[in-house]
Amino acid sequence: MLDEDYLCDSPILWIRADPEFQWIAMINIVQADHHWRHQLFQDHDCIAQIKAVHALRQYPSKLTGLSLLRCVADRRKFHAVRTEAAAALAACTTTELSWLGGKYLFFYFIKRYCLGVVPADPNSSEDKIMTGFTLWADGIPIVKPTAFQSGTEYFVQKGSSVAVAHMRDPFGVAHIDAIRFLLCLLR
């Protein structure tokens, strides 16, 4: 997932100052997005991973979206890192990228937390609202019941839903697919 072209160009993978929190100071590091992606996937400290996720919000691109999606899907990562990555993925959803971050988030949620798709009933007024959803034209997804046995998966599922709820266009209006998705969760 990491871009191999940058590995040849840069001898430094990422910079991290004061990893043990010994200084009473606020240190802001500015580095390129590929350095943040390296830190996200190769540093094993969850604080460093969260800082990398926060920094990647400033670099909305297809590669950033794929990196954040990979982070959300990685079950070995701490749930707070995965939840922050879902929020960053929603924040990287822009009209310039054709809502790509939101599509990645919808795709992950449907693959991970939905049982399948039920064909929409053309006579139902409720189903008519849902059929316009571009990601599942075949029907309406059925969300699995929440599994409270795994706290990690519960927090990631909740964080992904909240991230979708926060997706907005530049004018502060929620995207119609996000609204339909949230309506689908409430069914």
How does pLDDT run across 25-37, given as a tens digit for each residue?
777 888 888 888 9
Give pTM, 2 decimals. 0.78
More confident residue, 85 or 18: 85
Long-range contacts at 131-137 (CB < 8 A, ≥ 24 apart)? 132/176, 132/180, 133/177, 133/180, 133/181, 133/184, 134/177, 135/103, 135/106, 135/107, 135/110, 135/177, 136/110
- Which residue's entry shows tokens 């749930």? 79
Both tokens of residue 124? 């139902």
> Is 117's pLDDT higher than 60?
yes
Residue 1 scores a pLDDT above 70? no
What confidence score (pLDDT) does residue 119 get? 67
pLDDT of residue 52: 93
User: Model confidence over 15-28: pLDDT tens digits?
Assistant: 777 777 677 877 78
DSSP structure class, residue 26: -
Question: Which pLDDT score, from 0 to 100, does residue 172 have?
Answer: 86
* Lookup result for tokens 């709820």: 165
The domain total for the chain is: 1
Q: What is the pLDDT of residue 132?
A: 45
Full residue range of the structural domain in which residue 180 is found: 4-186
Percent pLDDT > 90 in the chain is: 22
Q: Which residues contact 9 (CB under 8 A, 6 or more apart)?
A: none
The percent of residues above 70 in pLDDT, for the chain, comes to: 78
Q: Report the candidate in 8, 75, 12, 20 with the shortest Cα–Cα distance to residue 48.
A: 20
Q: DSSP alpha helices (H): ranges in the chain?
A: 4-9, 33-42, 46-56, 62-73, 79-91, 100-113, 125-130, 151-165, 176-186
